Amino acid sequence: MPGTFLGLETARRGIRVHQHSINITGHNLANASTPGYTRQEGVLKATDPYSNITLESSVTPGQFGTGVAVDNIRRIRDEYLDFQMRRSSTDTAYWQDQILLLRQAEITFAEPLDKGINTKLVDFFKGWMNLENMPQDPGVKASVVVLGDGLAKLMQTTYNQLESIQHNIAQIDGAGTVVTGGMLKDQADRANEALTQIRDLTATIKNVYAVGQQPNDLLDQRDMLLEELSKFGPVEAVHETGPDGKPTGDFSVLNFFGHDVRIAPSGDSLSLEVDAVTGDVRLLVTDTGGAVNVKNLTQDCNADTRGSLLGLESSRQIIIDARNKLNELAIALRDQVNSQNPAPGSPPIIPAVDFFTGDLENSNFGVEADLLDDPSRLDGTVAGAVAAIRDLDITFTGASNQCTLEEYFGVITAGVGAGAKRANDMAATQSAIKTQVGNLMKSVSGVSTDEEITKLLQYNYGFQASSRVVSVIDDMLDVVINRLF
């Protein structure tokens, strides 16, 4: 038969378990607004019953229960939703990081404002039309030179601003082989830092699991780091289980862009390099065996819409394309206008002077210095031919068909504007998906204060009831010890 103090021990266990449950509930309530916190719950189980199997066991009423214990403290977490959240974070970051950059590029063109390149291009050719009517008027000549100079400076300024945005994304050394700064470098560094913290936390988590405990708060921290890492590129994480089916705290799979990043043999797992020939930016991923795997961000930035690293490179390529096209427009304008100069020695007998010189790439595009100093040297007899260039169809490498200078400038601005709009629309869509997944995660893992307060009352009543049992047994023992004999 069980001893006199069995009921007292059973009640004591009830008090202890309800006290633990109250503490867990208080921890949940304290972290109700903590980002990344996962609701915790004590898993209760009945302790082993009192059993003494002997020849006289048949005279006992059966096994006596011995109370309750907290088996473990579990996190209420859905790994499938974790995967969905990391995937949606990856897709959202691809588009979100492009919005600001492409909007900055769009603003540099100042279109369709009346002070943009297109307006100045139209005014420039109108100046030549006026000069055709008054070919010898020095004032009109000076006006044409001023209009050309303003157009050239605005084009050069716009080109330089686009270049500045491009360099903000990736600063490349003089040899053209290493990314030394910019947003791409910053994000690669942050990804490396997240990986380092994930490895450090994993080592601690494994130690906690090894002694039979549940490192819930550490697991929350690691999940937040995995979500942060997923913003930079696709992350695949599979938790490892031991022979007994219980988690070990380690990963059986931890891939970034499809490459193993659980352990770097030395230094950082991620680095950036530039192909000196093609100019492609490549992400180097060092795996557990020390092998270096390459993700070509430039080639894959439009084919693989995953993560901010690819999103930044996609923006950079759009800006590079706009710069190249703008330079091509400037060269076409220069060559077409200069080609209308009369041959040397042709009437009227004046030295031939090119109107434009240089190009945007070398930062020297502008009106010839001699004309700036002396606009009277401008040959008004070619004004009609120059004015006709406005309607001339020209072959551009960046256009599918021949088009005028103004039409080609429209192609440039439309490309940047379309990229910005597409990024904004896709970011909104992906953000909505991420919000929905986040709401699902909160419904599963988030802390509901109403629910926790209800549990708090339940555990409080359980604590009081167990305490009452102790009080009753104490009275019983007092009778047995002090009054019975």
Over range 159-176, report the average pLDDT. 93
Rounded CA separation 444/74 (Å): 13
Banded model confidence at residue 152, pLDDT cuts 50, 70, 90: very high
Average pLDDT, rounded, for the chain: 90
β-pairing, 40-46 with 68-75? antiparallel
Over range 40-53, report the average pLDDT. 84
CB contact at 8 A, 250 and 240: yes
pLDDT tens sequence across 363-395: 999 999 989 999 988 888 889 999 999 999 999
pLDDT for residue 352 is more than 70: no
What are the start-end ranges of the H helices in 246-344? Answer: 297-300, 308-338
pLDDT tens sequence across 172-208: 988 888 999 999 999 999 999 999 999 999 999 999 9
Q: What is the pTM of this model?
A: 0.88
> Both ends of the chain: CA-CA distance in Å?
22
Over range 32-36, report the average pLDDT. 93
Banded model confidence at residue 153, pLDDT cuts 50, 70, 90: very high
pLDDT for residue 313 is more than 50: yes
Rounded CA separation 83/55 (Å): 57
Say what the pLDDT of residue 263 is.
Answer: 82
pLDDT for residue 300 is more than 60: yes
pLDDT tens sequence across 119-132: 999 999 999 999 99
pLDDT tens sequence across 227-267: 999 999 999 999 999 898 889 999 999 999 999 998 876 66
Rounded CA separation 179/59 (Å): 84
- Comparing 255 with 3, the larger pLDDT belongs to 255
Reading the block at residue 317, the tokens are: 């390529």
Over range 398-413, report the average pLDDT. 90
pLDDT for residue 279 is more than 50: yes
